[in-house]
Amino acid sequence: MDHASRPGADGEFEARNAVVTGAASGIGRATAQELHDRGANLLALDIDPAVVNQGPDDRWTGELCDVTDVDQVEACMASFAGSHGPLDLLVSNAGAFTAGSTIDKLDLETWERGLRINLTSHFIVLRSFLAHANADPPASIVVVGSRNVAAPGPGAAAYSVPKAGLVQMVRVAALELGARHIRINVVHPDAVFDTAIWTPEVLERSAARYGLSVEEYKKQNVLGESVRLWDVTNAICLLLGAAFARTTGAQVPVDGGHMRVI
């Protein structure tokens, strides 16, 4: 899609201060770039050092940050707010798919790591962001969940359970933040196949497990369409912006109509 024809390409986020976690690659990287392209000043956080030098100009600040570390998160938020002003937009995206194992074989370390990365880190980020959030205009927040919340699979408890907890945290936050007119919503992407983790080899192995071709595997939904980065970043930007100014506490699937979700 031509950038000029994209929703929000008219500069809706001009001079707004945005924070994106997990911004070195995948959904986080694409969302940070989209918000920057739409005029925002960006604080891009990641544990990957590549995030530091990814910015195209001085509206992009990349910081090495472990979002499970309270001190690191608070230092990054405070520094950015100190130099740019109150924070307007948050995309809490950082997470990881922890190693698969059935519950009877799941070790405590993996379970707790999944909780810390995929749930507690979002609490840390949200709390720190709110300490610097803009009141006029009020801030807006999107949290990246997962299709696994509505349609979990076996062997993924250390990922699916914290992602489900994340939704409950957002629902509570929506109730609490309404008086401040701060909106918070969730997007639930399915697998996004134009990201680096989906190499041809990974796709072939995954498709083979279901007896499908790669193209059939990528389009296992009622629309028969694979989910792309643009589909997810566009949904995130729309939820952050004026198009959903009267929406909070919502869960928006970006999955092509996954059969088990519907």
Using the predicted structure, report yes or no on whether residue 3 has a pLDDT greater than 60: no
Using the predicted structure, report yes or no on whether residue 5 has a pLDDT greater than 50: no
Angle, to 10 degrees, between the axis of helix 26-37 and the axis of helix 229-240?
Answer: 50
Helix (H) or strand (E) segment spanning residue 130: helix 121-130
Residue pair 88/134 in contact by the 8 Å Cβ criterion: yes
Mean pLDDT for the stretch of residues 102-124: 96
Is-catalytic flag, 159?
yes
Q: What angle do CA 143, 145, 151 make, to 5 degrees?
A: 160
Among 13, 80, 159, 217, the one annotated catalytic = 159
Using the predicted structure, report yes or no on whether residue 1 has a pLDDT greater than 70: no
The model's pLDDT over 199-257, given as tens digits with 9 standing for 90+, comes to: 999 999 989 988 999 999 999 999 999 999 999 999 999 999 999 999 999 999 999 99
Domain 3-192+227-254 has CATH 3.30.70.3280: no
3-state DSSP: the chain helix, strand, coil percent, rounded to 5?
45, 15, 40
Using the predicted structure, report yes or no on whether residue 123 has a pLDDT greater than 70: yes
pTM of the complete model: 0.94
Residue ranges of domains in the chain: 3-192+227-254, 197-226
- 69's CB contacts (< 8 A; 6+ apart) are 124
The model's pLDDT over 131-155, given as tens digits with 9 standing for 90+, comes to: 999 999 999 999 999 999 999 989 9
The CA distances from residue 104 to 135, 155, 161, 163, 172, in Å, are: 47, 10, 15, 20, 31
Cα(39)–Cα(36) distance, integer angstroms: 5
